[in-house]
Structure 1
């Protein structure tokens, strides 16, 4: 099968007792730069038997402000997110970074406010990164899709270190027919993006992403996958500037069989890696 040709009959999972109501947290980057990731996430969740809502009131998770020490504005953003996702069984994001922000840091933001602290803890306990939710909560064992390509995988820092997302995407990728995974030697090493880190320390960030890009090319893989768009944008931009032919995609696009959209950084893509 040629690269890009896909078939899909949905995830194979242990069906829950009832259809869980899932709130899809799209994330800022996905909404502005790569909506196809959001649609892929929606498809994976619905194929797994979820009833999915996408609250129009959602905005940023607040992480940029939080990482800059602006707790006042972070609390305002977090309160809006908590309001928007009231009443769902789970909150799922195609981003370990945003899911980690909600799950790990919302409770501490409202530690001095008893009423909000309870609500923050409630949403934190219900929030998951996409592949973790599919595997750990829904019991998805494989997705029936095909893609004839070789891939390598980058573990994004927040998903790996805050949410222990490591085996879950690999387990799902192992079931994609025709796909071969070559492990990246420095898979757990930061790509240098780090949100505001790449702005505050551009020289260090550039050295980190250069090292990462060289390792990616050395694997010989046709496609780089990861679970966070920030990391993917950073690595796609550097790969393009180095003249590498490696395609860059979010893991959800491959798992959902939605690879007709040009890869990140490709000329017809909604995101141009040349801009970074």
Structure 2
């Protein structure tokens, strides 16, 4: 029997065990070997520790005969409480409701969850790529809004970078002074932040608020002004007349550029298109 393979995997061995293994290799070169004889000869290992017991050496030899290695084998130790089937059930609960808590997941699993803790559920979700995140706030869109945005994106997806560098974007926004500041968390994977299930739809209402109008381009920010009261079509046209050309000059858009605003009713006049080419 070749015991030279016993010298593999010595990383976790004591010096006494290494000495025993080396002695076994030496003895096995002859007619045979004797564990007790080897241990008597190795009473004082180099690290001054006690040599291993006969049973320890026997188990090493038996392991090598069976597996041809003395390294740690896979599958040793306590088996995991979360089986692959249970892990898939936990992930399904999150996919159905990203806002679910680990406590609610355990309640839904019932007896199938066994005796696992909330921390175990959390580790299982982390392994599957799910982490707690604050949901993104996005405008509450109807189906027609989504279709219109997709149509706009498809119509302009082949535009060159030079075209987008010459676009002046305009919009107004209302900022709530007193709104809902509740902190909510969701469980989602990387890249799924704007999935509709993982967002909080927002509408323009609340306590006191301020309205601003502004514009920007690839070159930076244009004018930003405060809107007094409710913006109507006449006030919007006045804002454009006083700020659009000035902002375009400040941003260096040149003599030919595109003015872009959204499909708000007050932005349209006599059926004008929303994307208009400005020439000076």
> Based on CA coordinates, which of the two structures has the bigger radius of gyration?
2
TM-score range, shorter chain: under 0.3
- How high is the TM-score relative to the length of structure 2? 0.18
